[in-house]
Chain A
Amino acid sequence: MIRQLIILFYILIGALTPSISVALVIGSDQEEIYIDANFSGEELLVFGAFYSDPSQSRDSKSDILIEVVGPPEDVALRKKDSYFGFWLNSKSVTFRDVPGFYYLSSTSELSDEFLANNQIGLLEKKKSEMIDWSLLTTDWGSIINEKEKEEFYSALIRTKQEDSLYRKVFDEIEIIDGNLFRSYIDIPNTVPVGEYTVNLHLIIDNEISQEYSYNFIVTRVGIEEAIYSFSKNYPFFYGLISLIIAIIIGWSGAEIFKRFKRI
């Protein structure tokens, strides 16, 4: 509620102050997403307001663009080939610092040219930095032709898309009253933990007029966090406790049943 009031306040300031011709104001629902035992994905709410000067030409077109970038991770991409009728993993490429999650959303479909010029988007921005071809783990010699590199690159994007970890959409931002916007972004249950960045752009007549960024964190909490870090820090005792649980349940199951059978 307070946030909504603040937004309203900014809109008024925007309207009243002649020096500010356009404004973009963000209110965000949450700074953290918690992964607990019940976590099955979440909807991230991004909302805010934008104001463009009414004295500008009525034909000018304004768009909102939302970009969510997840924490970087290293991934291995493997390609299957047919050997004697069996489909087995063959060539493999390691990609460094690939975003674990990527989401691009805008109020209308923006041209690739626009995205490239403004360094927005996965393909456009990260391509050269992201792929370190020198990290190829196998078959380095047989994979170096450009066509095959391109094939691996598009497969990376495609497999991430299939897991709903990479998405590009044009119809998920709701505009209310011409000045307020709201978008629910699906965060699937397979998202990596870490720091995420939300970048917002107000685009007027194919020019970025305002930008705004903020971070949020996806983190494990409660018993999930306790189990995960215990398994990494004290693997032997973790294994031992898993065993003890198995022994107790296995033993007591048999004992309880034995009594049950006597009755």
Chain B
Amino acid sequence: MSIYLPIAELSVNIFLLLSLGGIVGFLSGMFGLGGGFLMTPLLIFIGIPTNVAVATSANQIVASSISGTLGHWRQGLVDLKMGGVLLVGAFFGSILGVWIFSRLVAIGQIDTVISILYFALLTGIGLSMLIESSKVIRDRIRRKSVKRKIHYHNWAHRLPFKVRFYKSKLYISVIPPIIIGFVIGVLSATMGIGGAFILIPAMIYFLGMPTSKVIGTSLFQIIFITALVTILHATTTFAVDAVLAFFLILSSVIGAQVGVLAANKLRGEEIRALLAIIVLGVATKIALDLLVEPNEIFNLSVIRLVF
């Protein structure tokens, strides 16, 4: 059974969409990730145009990050003030990102740029997960416990405009969080990701936020970035496909809940290593598409006139 997507202007198998959403949702629930970094390339692989894949992913992440934030919110693990400061940067970043995106669409380089960005992102994510999980597995075999530093003091603490963040027990300048938010905003708008994978380490290592507050706060502000990105794409690139988003959201929300359940029952490191390999596989496929001489070196796109 297939369904016609009104904005992508093609029909796809409905079960393919539901299982794609379900799998990405499952992985995101299991590992506490947004899943946008897998959703966008997988949508492109099944033939959805790049611009629709990016814009619709952003819409889908709104739903999954709301689901995720609620749990953290109830436990009081969201630093609203820090989230707000990050959002100031993200607001301007996503406006710049959507502008860059529509320029790239106009000059016909969007596919290439998205491929290169995704290759870099997925390789980074995959390798770091693989290294981390194999270290944990190795330490477990040697019966060692992993020690982690809780607080970092670095250059971020020496900048002006210092503000007290009570919830995170921090007294730091607002400049680093604004810059981090800005970068995440640009990436979110151009790649259709929430950016948690970059945001979380940045908040821990650059801002020195306590790990317990990081996930809730990053999810909280991802809701707003991706909401803004959705509106910006809907009004400038016209690439948000509501029908596609509906099926992805439905299946990913269910998949995410199942993923959370599974995470409590299964041992994390092995699966984390497996996910790392999947992520690296996707990155390899993207790289091959860029490096191997294509069968058809010409590609055609219909120039739509927007009335």
Using CB atoms and an 8 Å cutoff, list the residues of chain A in contact with chain B. 35-41, 73-82, 85-89, 92, 94, 100, 138, 152, 155-156, 158-160, 162-163, 189-190, 192, 220, 223-225, 227-228, 231-232, 235-236, 238-243, 245-247, 249-251, 253-255, 257
Contacts and interface: CB of A to CB of B under 8 A. Distances in A.
List the 9 shortest-distance A-B pairs measured between CB atoms, nearest first. Answer: A239-B234, A250-B63, A253-B253, A250-B66, A155-B298, A246-B63, A246-B62, A239-B231, A235-B235
Given A239-B240, A254-B70, A77 B300 contact: yes
A232 B256 CA distance: 32
Contact of A228 (B6, B59, B60, B296): B6
Given A190-B10, A250-B64, A251-B66, A243 B302 contact: no
Nearest to A152: B298
A14 to B, nearest CB: 42
Contact of A87 (B9, B256, B294): B294
B4 A37 contact: yes
Interface string B275-293: 0000000000000001111
Contacts of B302: 73-75, 100, 192
B109 interface: yes
B237 to A, nearest CB: 10
B65 interface: yes
A231 B6 CA distance: 10
Residue of A37, A152, A158, A242 with most chain B CB atoms under a 10 A cut-off? A242
A243 B298 contact: no
Interface in B234-259: 234-235, 238, 240, 242-243, 245-246, 249-250, 253-254, 256-257
Contacts of B306: 232
B104 to A, nearest CB: 11
A89 B294 CA distance: 12
Nearest to B63: A250
Contacts of B296: 158-159, 162
A121 to B, nearest CB: 20
A36 B5 CA distance: 9
Nearest to A260: B257
A17 B267 CA distance: 87
B234 A249 contact: no
B297 interface: yes
A249 B2 contact: no
Given A40-B11, A239-B230, A224 B63 contact: no
A252 to B, nearest CB: 8
B6 A39 contact: no
A220 B297 CA distance: 32
A227 B5 CA distance: 10
Given A87-B297, A253-B257, A247 B66 contact: yes
A246 B301 CA distance: 30
B227 interface: yes
Given A37-B3, A89-B112, A189-B11, A232 B66 contact: no
A204 B204 CA distance: 81
Contacts of B257: 253-254, 257
Given A158-B298, A228-B6, A235-B234, A242 B67 contact: no
B76 interface: no
6 contacts: A40-B4, A231-B242, A239-B231, A242-B230, A242-B245, A246-B66
Nearest to B62: A246
B213 interface: no
